[in-house]
Amino acid sequence: MFKTWPATGAVLLSFALAIPACAYDVPLTEYSIRDAYFLGARNGGLKPDLLVKYVGSIPELKQGTCTSQARIETPFLQVAQFAGKSVNYSAQDAVADFYGKPAAFLVYLEICYQQNAPQNVIRFKITQHKKEIVPLSVKRSPYQEPAAIMGYLPPNGEQIVVEFTPSKIDSSDLTILIDTPDGQHVSTDFDLRSIR
């Protein structure tokens, strides 16, 4: 009987390793806040290979050298970013600051598609399971491609910040659909099973 335990333990361990350790999790537990803290506070902060999972390029929408993109910020990422920028900040401080507190799931859209783009005309829809998720708030501003020092470029699109209640979003694919006034229709997807 005791001889089979190592084999059984190995099988159980293989199942545990097969379950994704990182998936969008909400609400944040004390453990996930500590994970976010240590991820952000380590030497060098958040690594580009981690951050790239939170950004989706939209190459179909562009104007000149400016390419559109969508970026998401989960509550977990927000804690990690905050920890990375804070001095003399501990894991206990992070738990005290974030545990049980309201959080937001944010979507940033930087849409460039034409010179002198009109404002407040980009239409978008954010969905999961083919159903639209209703945002808490939407903020819009002109988007201007970054220019050289002392340079000025006219607006070539819109920047949109969309805020959601995190509990309305689950760890499945999140789809962002975008329509521009000049008739372009594009979409980009985020796999929330691969991020936290």
Identify whether 12 is part of a domain. Answer: no
Residue 121, pLDDT > 60, answer: yes
Evaluate whether 169 touches 26 at the Cβ level (below 8 Å): yes
Evaluate whether 92 touches 50 at the Cβ level (below 8 Å): no
Higher-scoring residue by pLDDT: 152, 123: 123
- Convert the pLDDT of each residue in 164-194 to its tens digit: 999 999 999 999 999 999 999 999 999 999 9
Identify whether 11 is part of a domain. Answer: no
Identify whether 28 is part of a domain. Answer: yes
Identify whether 16 is part of a domain. Answer: no
Confidence (pLDDT) at 65: 87
Evaluate whether 97 touches 80 at the Cβ level (below 8 Å): no
Instruction: Quickly count: other Cβ atoms within 10 Å of residue 111's Cβ.
Output: 25
**Total tally of structural domains belonging to the chain:** 1
Q: What is the mean pLDDT of residues 86-109?
A: 95
Confidence (pLDDT) at 149: 61
Identify whether 180 is part of a domain. Answer: yes
3-state helix, strand, coil in the chain (%, to 5): 30, 30, 40
Looking at every residue in the chain, the average pLDDT score rounds to 87
Q: What is the mean pLDDT of residues 114-129?
A: 94
Identify whether 9 is part of a domain. Answer: no
Confidence (pLDDT) at 56: 94
Residue 167 sits in which domain range?
23-191
Residue 1, pLDDT > 80, answer: no
Confidence (pLDDT) at 151: 63
**Which of 161, 88, 101, 100 shows the shortest CA–CA distance to 126?**
161
Identify whether 10 is part of a domain. Answer: no
Evaluate whether 176 touches 122 at the Cβ level (below 8 Å): no
**Which of 193, 182, 176, 194 shows the shortest CA–CA distance to 58?**
176
- Convert the pLDDT of each residue in 14-52 to its tens digit: 333 333 345 787 899 999 999 999 999 987 788 888 899
